């Protein structure tokens, strides 16, 4: 019970500090948003499709758009929801059909198809894709309408014949193929790269700077007062360890849940992502515990924690992607793997980029677990020495 009380105190101290609301929770999400808006992209451009009250013709238009190369169509029921998804970067564009799309077309009425896109370089290409699909459908509809006016068949029969004849007409055929392996990050969604890199960066950074709380506890005599009670040293060590881990888990879970809800980030295999996050958090908490045991001054620990946290994050691939580092500096890429960040990033990339499972990241998990065990052992040893001397 005392272990949980000590751990809970560390978490409450984090949540009570109002400055942490921004720097620990909001700032990571803000950076993920900025990185996604500036550099995000995906192999398949995501187009939302709204066809309230649509029928076969609406389904036909959707199929024509979905058949285009490099396009993934997602269905929505609410025009406001699909526009919001475009604004948040979850979609690159949206197509909104008016109510009664089929009825209007069959009645020879003018129909307006709305196209919504983010103002970037891909918008025009997606607009051309949608216009092409609309033009193709329009050609079939005009042929059916002409056959109907000539009395050859009713509209439904004429439409079926026109569609059938269109498929049998020999036209220009273009085939596209990819040579070599595509660049890894071209397959990521808009926010995935920023999400996992900033998750690792901030969890580690907060754990290191959070070591000041452990130092302050010793300076204020809290640790000595606990020792004066019937509380074994191992209970204090375990409580402080769980406290450091709790801080990392609270921050990380908020980032994961926040990016999933607001940015639509797919973290891959849940079991593999959870194991990676947990083991990395254990390592980060262990480093925070070690720093809190080694340093006697919280100002020194806080300043060094910021420097080391940002520096190790940058070296480990949280600022410069490891794939780019490997291309331009293989030596630096090898050096990066002295950090837990590099192994955490490679685990997430296997899960997110290549749809891997926990079985595919056993090496990364083993190294993260070994790192956590070492730093926790060192931290517990140093903290025990500082409490009992």
Residue 275: predicted pLDDT: 97
CATH 3.40.190, applies to 45-181: yes
pLDDT along the chain (389 residues), means of 10: 71 69 78 69 77 83 87 91 86 90 78 85 81 82 68 61 55 48 52 85 88 74 68 76 86 91 88 96 91 80 85 91 87 95 95 91 97 91 77
CB 205 within 8 A of CB 304: no
Residue 170: predicted pLDDT: 45
pTM of the model: 0.65
CB 249 within 8 A of CB 211: no
Question: CA quadruple 296, 298, 303, 309: dihedral positive or negative?
Answer: positive
Residues 200 and 251: their CA atoms lie apart, in Å, by 11
Rounded to 5°, the CA angle 245-314-266 comes to 65
CB 48 within 8 A of CB 85: yes
Give ranges for CATH 3.40.190 in the chain: 45-181
Non-local (6+) Cβ contacts of 197 within 8 A are: 317, 318, 319, 321, 345
Place of tokens 């996050």: 277
Residue 315: predicted pLDDT: 94
CB 383 within 8 A of CB 289: yes
Non-local (6+) Cβ contacts of 36 within 8 A are: 89, 190, 191, 193, 194, 263
Residue 316: predicted pLDDT: 94
Cα distances (Å, whole numbers) of residue 177 to 67, 180, 272: 16, 10, 32
Cα distances (Å, whole numbers) of residue 164 to 101, 140, 146, 159, 291: 22, 10, 16, 9, 73
The secondary element (H helix, E strand) that includes residue 365 is: helix 362-388
CB 141 within 8 A of CB 105: yes
Residue 20: predicted pLDDT: 67
């Amino acid at each position: 019970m005392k272990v949980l009380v000590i751990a809970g105190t560390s978490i409450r101290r984090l949540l009570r500090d109002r400055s942490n609301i921004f720097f620990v929770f909001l700032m990571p999400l803000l950076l993920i948003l900025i990185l996604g808006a500036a550099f995000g992209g995906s192999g398949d451009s995501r187009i939302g499709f709204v066809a309230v009250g649509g029928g076969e013709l609406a389904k036909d238009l959707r199929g024509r758009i979905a058949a285009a190369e490099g396009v993934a169509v997602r269905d929505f029921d609410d025009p406001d929801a699909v526009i919001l998804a475009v604004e948040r970067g979850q979609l690159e564009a949206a197509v909104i059909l008016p109510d009664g799309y089929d009825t209007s077309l069959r009645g020879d009425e003018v129909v307006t198809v709305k196209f919504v896109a983010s103002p970037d370089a891909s918008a025009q290409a997606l607009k051309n894709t949608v216009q092409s699909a609309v033009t193709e459908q329009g050609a079939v509809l005009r042929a059916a309408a002409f056959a109907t006016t000539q009395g050859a068949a009713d509209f439904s029969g004429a439409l079926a014949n026109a569609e059938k004849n269109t498929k049998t007409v020999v036209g220009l055929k273009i085939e596209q193929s990819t040579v070599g392996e595509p660049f890894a990050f071209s397959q990521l969604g808009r926010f995935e790269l920023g999400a996992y890199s900033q998750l690792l960066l901030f969890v580690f950074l907060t754990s290191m700077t959070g070591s000041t709380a452990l130092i302050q506890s010793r300076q204020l005599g809290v640790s000595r007062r606990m020792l004066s009670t019937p509380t074994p040293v191992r209970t204090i060590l375990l409580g402080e360890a769980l406290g450091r881990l709790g801080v990392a888990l609270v921050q990380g879970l908020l980032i994961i849940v926040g990016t999933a809800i607001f940015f639509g980030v797919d973290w891959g295999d849940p079991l593999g992502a959870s194991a990676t996050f947990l083991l990395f958090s254990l390592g980060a908490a262990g480093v925070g515990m070690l720093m809190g045991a080694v340093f006697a001054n919280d100002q020194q620990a806080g300043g060094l924690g910021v420097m080391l946290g940002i520096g190790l994050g940058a070296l480990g691939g949280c600022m410069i992607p490891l794939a780019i580092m490997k291309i331009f500096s293989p030596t630096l890429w090898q050096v990066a793997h002295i950090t837990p960040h590099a192994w955490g990033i490679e685990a997430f990339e296997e899960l997110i980029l290549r749809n891997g499972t926990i079985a595919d990241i056993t090496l990364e998990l083993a190294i993260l677990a070994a790192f956590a065990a070492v730093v926790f052992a060192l931290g517990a040893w140093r903290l025990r020495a500082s409490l009992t001397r």
